[in-house]
Structures are given as C-alpha cells and as structure tokens.
Amino acid sequence: MTAEIIDGKAFAAGLRAQVGEEVAALKARHGLKPGLAVVLVGEDPASQVYVRNKARQTVEVGMASFEHRLDVATPQAELLALVERLNRDPEVHGILVQLPLPDQIDTAKVLDAIDPAKDVDGFHVINAGLLATGQKAMVPCTPLGCYMLLKERIGDLSGLEAVVVGRSNIVGKPMAQLLLQANCTVTVAHSRTRDLPGVCRRADILVAAVGRPEMVRGDWVKPGATVIDVGINRIPAPERGEGKHRLVGDVAFEEAREVAGAITPVPGGVGPMTIACLLANTVTAACRAHGVDEPKALAA
C-alpha cells in the first residue's frame, strides 16, 4: 500500500480563506476587526520566522496585527506588565507569547497571566481544564489542526484506536482530549512506554509528537492507519552542501508511507495548520468577546 499524502498546506490555505471571509463578515455586520498580539522575546531564528509568518498571515486575512519584540534579557516582570497591558487593550482579542522563552522567565507564570478569553494558544491552565472537562475552551492550535485534518480524512472517528506518542501540554495532552471527545479509544504513549512499537501498531490513528527525528518506523504502523506527524526536526544534510540542513518529522516518512493509509508530510503537513488555526482561534475569541455567534467551521 502507498499512503495518501494529507496536504496540510492546501487545507490550511482553505482554512485561511474561510477565516478571511468571516473577518470580512464581522466588519460588515458588526464593525468588528479582530486583533492578534504576538510577543517574541529574544532572537531564536526559528521563532523569528514563525512570528513573522503569523503577523503576515494575520494581516492577509484582514485582521489587526500587533507585534512586540523584546530583548532576550527582558526581566519576567517586564513581560508580565506587557501581557497585562494587552489583556486590557480592547483592540486585542488574541494574545500569543511565542515559545520557547529564555531561561530567566517562568513560562507557566507568563502563560497563566494571559486573560483566558484572549488565550488563542489555548495554553492557559483554565483553557486546559475546560478542554479536559468537555467545556467551551480555546483549543491549542497544533492539536486543533491535527484534529481538522483527521476529520477531513476520516469523517467519524468514533470507536477508533488512537495512539498519541508524546505527552506535552501543548500537543500530546490536548490532542488526546480532542480524540477522546471524538469517542476514540486513546492511549498516550511516551519515552517510558513499554513496547512502544507494539503500542503504536494498535493505532488506527497514530499521532507522533515526540520531537525525535524519524523515531517512529514503518513497522510501527498498522496497515491502513492514518499517521499524523507533528515533529519538525532540522537535521544535517551534507548531500545538499556543507552546513546544509533538511526538515524531517518524528516519523520515518518513506517507510511509513508504504504501510499507512494516509500520512502527513513534513514540511507541508501539520505545520501550516498551526498558524491557520491561530487565525481561526482569534476570530473565535473576537466573536466571544463581542457576544457574536462564533463560526462553527473554525472550531473543533
């Protein structure tokens, strides 16, 4: 079997177009322009690219973008003061603090300082709790994007065996919650799981979010399974020239595509969905803030 390639880049483009239509409708009907504030502390090269892309795509869909770039040595108190200002700013409906943060900053403290209603990353402990208890939450963008791709590919997920490899707060745990809500039988596996290959082979839906290049091998995949690769790993590629790199996921793509029914590539799979879902969450936050019906197509 050769797997269908799930084109996250194309799906994300469609989602951004839908977001753009919703933004235009909000302006026309309610005079409302959703605004997203993105905060970057330091000069991590990958984070700079992500923040630039977020700001550009925010403007492209017709929303207001507010960028805040702080020095790598910014004290925590200064960052918290900025978050407080953004919490109070009526033009800002969504706030995102780009991760990772420098060592002098307590990440959990900063994330929990964001007004949960403006927490478009869905990382605030209140949003994590709302999601875990099946209530209306802001859902983290990467798992939301994975979920949308799964719904598009499979339709009804009810009764399927899902294995999520990785237990991070920003991907693994919320992914497991979304799959549970869709009535999957969910296993969260991790570095201490015994017989990880055997556990993965049970999965109709296999989500890899471990941050280890090509760890999930082809013979870990159940024939016909849908494989969602969340990993973005930059590995040396001397064949491309001295000092060159290439991107690989957490799944050994060429092996897995021979076994899976469908698989997301890296790049061009889950990654582009993350930013598209951030834009969707910002529209949702703006609608909730103004008591306007939120567009169902933009949510889980």
Q: Which residues are catalytic?
A: 54, 98, 121
Q: Which is nearer to ligand LMY7XDAE, 226 or 281 (CB)?
A: 281
**27 to 66: interface string for ligand LMY7XDAE, x by CB under 6 A:** -----------------------x----------------
Query: Is 232 labelled a binding residue?
Result: yes
Q: Which is nearer to ligand LMY7XDAE, 48 or 193 (CB)?
A: 48
Identify the residue among 70, 80, 247, 292 touching ligand LMY7XDAE (CB under 6 A).
Answer: 247
Q: Any residues with CB less than 8 A from the CB of 171 and at least 6 apart, and which?
A: 140, 142, 143, 209, 230
Least distance (Å) from ligand LMY7XDAE to the CB of residue 233? Answer: 10
Euclidean distance between CA atoms 240 and 234, whole angstroms:
13
81, two tokens: 């003061």
Nearest to 289 by CA among 32, 60, 19, 15: 32
Euclidean distance between CA atoms 60 and 72, whole angstroms:
28
Which segments of 71-146 are extended strands (E)? Answer: 94-97
235, two tokens: 């590995």
Least distance (Å) from Mg ion to the CB of residue 185? Answer: 35
44, two tokens: 């991590």
Q: Which is nearer to ligand LMY7XDAE, 35 or 271 (CB)?
A: 271
Identify the residue among 3, 23, 271, 299 touching ligand LMY7XDAE (CB under 6 A).
Answer: 271
Q: Which is nearer to Mg ion, 56 or 109 (CB)?
A: 109
Task: Decide: helix, strand or coil at residue 227.
Answer: strand
Query: Is 166 labelled a binding residue?
Result: yes
Q: Residue 167: phi, psi to the nearest 5?
A: -125, 35
- DSSP-derived secondary structure letter, 3: P
Least distance (Å) from ligand LMY7XDAE to the CB of residue 142? Answer: 5
Q: Which residue has the tokens 């603090």?
A: 97
- DSSP-derived secondary structure letter, 232: -
Query: Is 167 labelled a binding residue?
Result: yes
Tell me: does residue 98 bind ligand LMY7XDAE (CB under 6 A): yes
Euclidean distance between CA atoms 61 and 282, whole angstroms:
11
Piece of the chain touching ligand LMY7XDAE by CB under 6 A; list 188-196, 235-243, 268-276, 289-297: 268-276
Partner in contact with 272, chosen from Mg ion, ligand LMY7XDAE, none, beta carbon below 5 to 8 Å by kind? ligand LMY7XDAE
Q: Output the CA–CA distances (angstroms, integers) from residue 281 to 73, 245, 267, in the order listed.
A: 30, 32, 23
Q: Work out whether the CA dihedral 77, 107, 37, 40 comes out positive or negative.
A: positive
Q: With contacts defined by CB under 6 A, how many residues of the chain interact with ligand LMY7XDAE?
A: 17
Euclidean distance between CA atoms 71 and 41, whole angstroms:
6
When CB distances to Mg ion are compared, the closest residue is 107
**105 to 144: interface string for Mg ion, x by CB under 5 A:** --x-------------------------------------
Binding site for Mg ion (CB under 5 A): 107
Binding site for ligand LMY7XDAE (CB under 6 A): 50, 96-99, 121, 141-142, 232, 247, 266-268, 271-272, 274-275
